[in-house]
């Protein structure tokens, strides 16, 4: 039989259509004229999202990128619950209150049985609520000047937004030499009778370091003795609030310090929940001015609310409570301790490669920053960052702020799910790219041409 007469048994079957709408242009900036099937709509969106980076290889973000399947299932069961409807979803409201009590105890509030706080969409909203309480407290003292808030220049952008939205002067302490965050001496130097508070960061996004909260409070104690001016402290513990209590138990930074009036934390960072939840806790009810609490008659009941947002999903709050139950103190200590072990080990191995110099070692937050040694002139940290993207790694490169704009660094954030094995793979890729980059005569990228990362 001639070869041309031989046919594969499946050759005459028509190729199946992947999508019923495969030959139609999908509008991207206006509604399509008609409907499509749920499967087609899913596939179109799913395929487009494949162009995103792999979240597990994202060493830039502090945000949780993995949770257990049981937590995923709980969240799916709660997507339709509105956190604001406390009368309709009383048990979700109860779970939120339990979480506030847990955090109050974790942070040594004087009377955690009367815990004052709430969940938010993230620590940015929580920080703004803390700032609002500071401003209102200052106003109640009858001050007439323009209020100011003292902080290091390394603060997260939410504080710039707060100052802009609520007309508060930002008094920023610049970096100086090897000091990359706020110091007690510099903080007090900027305080006066119109200072509504000092913001201390427990875990800077630039390098993962803790600011000296206890030293800042002690300096403000002495300042009050000299001047009679009482300046409270808000601790922005967006990341460190879920790290220090478990790994640095001798560190005094929270409500054990009488001057600390409020603390914010991000549940979706080292709280280990997917994006969408933060927490604000005040020292006691007196630290939250009553005129910031609104009583709303909504869907059948009078309820207090003091968040900036209104409707939002209850799923992340439920997932936070799941983590508290699932892990307990020992589990959080284990997870965060493993992350710190990975961070410090990886930092040490990167330092041993030769061209890099560590700025931090990952022994506070499991986060560390490193720069190229001064003698390396043929490539930049931006070249290194771009090279690592070739294998899917997202390692941010950025310049430091005022007074240290000359310093450009790389930063690696180690989160749950970033294992020693992944760290070894990253190190091998970094070593391989360095060998190639060392053949360059001059850098190909700088801060103006590199892909941008945001803190």
- pLDDT at 374 (0 to 100): 96
CATH number of 337-438: 3.90.1150.160
Closest CA to 61 of 184, 239, 264: 239
pLDDT-derived band at 453, boundaries 50, 70, 90 = low
> Rg (Cα) of the chain, in Å, rounded?
26
The reported pLDDT for the residue numbered 128 is: 96
Span 414-448, pLDDT tens digits: 999 999 999 999 999 999 999 999 999 999 998 88
Query: How far is 85 from 303, CA to CA, in rounded Å?
Result: 9
Q: Does pLDDT of 300 surpass 80?
A: no
146 pLDDT above the threshold of 70: yes
Collapsed DSSP state (helix, strand, coil) of residue 248: coil
**For residue range 69-82, what is the model confidence (pLDDT) as tens digits?**
999 999 999 999 88
Question: Over the stretch 309-325, which tens digit does the pLDDT of each residue have?
Answer: 778 889 999 999 999 99
- 438 Cβ neighbours under 8 A, 6+ residues apart: 355, 378, 379
Q: How far is CA 69 from CA 131, 313, 400, in A?
A: 36, 19, 39
Q: What is the chain's percent helix, strand, coil content, to nearest 5?
A: 40, 15, 45
Euclidean distance between CA atoms 455 and 443, whole angstroms: 24
**Distance of alpha carbon 376 from alpha carbon 228, whole angstroms:** 52
Per-residue pLDDT of 41-52, as tens digits, reads 999 899 999 999
How much is the pLDDT for 6? 47
**Whole-number Å distance between alpha carbons of 179 and 187:** 13
- When pLDDT is cut at 50, 70 and 90, the band that residue 25 belongs to is confident
Q: Are 273 and 266 in contact (CB under 8 A)?
A: no
Whole-number Å distance between alpha carbons of 41 and 28: 12
Confidence of residue 18 (pLDDT cuts 50, 70, 90): low
pLDDT band at 4; cut points 50, 70, 90: very low
The CA distance from 116 to 244, in Å, is 21
Residues forming a β-bridge with 357: 371
Kindly report whether the global pTM for this prediction surpasses the value 0.95. no
- Asked whether residue 65 carries a pLDDT value surpassing 90, the answer given is yes
Residue 68 neighbours by CB under 8 Å, 6+ apart: 326
Is residue 295's pLDDT more than 70? no
The DSSP code for 174 is P
Which strand ranges, in their side-by-side order, compose the sheet holding 397-399? 356-358, 367-372, 408-413, 397-399
What are the domain boundaries of the chain?
73-326, 337-438
Mean predicted confidence (pLDDT) in 131-145: 92
Residue 347: pLDDT above 60?
yes
Q: What pLDDT, on the 0 to 100 scale, is given for residue 451?
A: 59
pLDDT of residue 101: 95
Report whether pLDDT(84) > 80: no
Q: Is 322 exposed, middle or buried (0-12, 13-18, 19+ CB in 10 A)?
A: buried
Interval 84-109 mean pLDDT: 89
pLDDT for position 142: 85
Give pLDDT, residue 362: 98
**Cα(first)–Cα(last) distance of the chain, in Å?**
71
**Whether pLDDT at 216 is above 50:** yes
Mean of pLDDT over the chain: 91
pLDDT band at 7 (very low <50, low <70, confident <90, very high): very low
Q: Which architecture does CATH list for 73-326?
A: 3-Layer(aba) Sandwich (3.40)
Please tell me the predicted confidence (pLDDT) of residue 16: 46
The SS3 call for residue 416 is coil
């Amino acid at each position: 039989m001639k070869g041309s007469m031989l046919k594969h048994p499946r050759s005459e079957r028509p190729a199946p259509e992947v999508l019923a709408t495969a030959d139609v242009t999908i509008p991207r900036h206006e509604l399509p004229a008609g409907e499509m099937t749920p499967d087609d709509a899913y596939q179109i969106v799913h395929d487009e999202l494949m162009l995103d980076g792999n979240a597990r290889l994202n060493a830039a973000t502090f945000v949780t990128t993995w949770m257990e399947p049981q937590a995923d299932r709980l969240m799916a069961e709660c997507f339709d619950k509105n956190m604001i409807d406390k009368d309709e979803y009383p048990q979700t409201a109860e779970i939120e209150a339990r979480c506030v009590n847990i955090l109050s105890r974790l942070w040594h509030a004087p009377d955690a049985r009367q815990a004052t706080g709430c969940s938010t969409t993230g620590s940015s909203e929580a920080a703004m609520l803390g700032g609002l309480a500071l401003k209102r407290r200052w106003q109640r003292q009858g001050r007439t000047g323009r209020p100011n808030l003292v902080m290091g220049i390394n603060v997260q952008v939410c504080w710039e937004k707060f100052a802009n939205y609520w007309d508060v002067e930002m008094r920023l302490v610049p970096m100086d030499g090897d000091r990359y965050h706020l110091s007690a001496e510099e903080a007090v130097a900027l305080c006066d009778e119109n200072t509504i508070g000092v913001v201390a960061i427990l875990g800077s996004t630039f390098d993962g370091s803790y600011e000296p909260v206890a030293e800042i409070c002690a300096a403000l104690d002495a300042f009050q003795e000299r001047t009679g001016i009482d300046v409270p402290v808000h601790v922005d513990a967006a990341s460190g609030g879920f790290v220090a209590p478990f790994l640095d138990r001798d560190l005094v930074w929270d409500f054990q310090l009488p001057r600390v009036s409020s603390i914010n934390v991000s549940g979706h960072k080292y709280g280990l929940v997917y994006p969408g939840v933060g927490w604000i806790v005040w020292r006691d009810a007196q630290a939250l001015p009553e005129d910031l609490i609104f009583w709303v008659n909504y869907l059948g009941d009078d309820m207090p609310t003091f968040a900036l947002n209104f409707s939002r999903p209850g799923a992340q709050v439920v997932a936070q409570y799941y983590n508290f139950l699932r892990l307990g103190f020992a589990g959080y200590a284990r997870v965060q301790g493993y992350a710190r072990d990975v961070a410090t080990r990886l930092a040490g191995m990167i330092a041993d490669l030769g061209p890099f110099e560590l700025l931090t070692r990952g022994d506070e937050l499991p986060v560390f920053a490193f720069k190229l040694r001064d003698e390396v002139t043929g490539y930049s940290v931006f070249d290194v960052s771009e090279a690592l993207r070739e294998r899917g790694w997202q390692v941010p490169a950025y310049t430091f702020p005022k007074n240290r704009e000359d310093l450009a660094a790389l930063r690696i954030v180690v989160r749950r799910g970033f294992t020693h094995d992944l760290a070894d793979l990253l190190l091998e890729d970094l070593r391989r790219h360095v060998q190639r980059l060392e053949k360059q005569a001059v850098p190909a990228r700088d801060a103006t041409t590199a892909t941008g990362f945001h803190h």
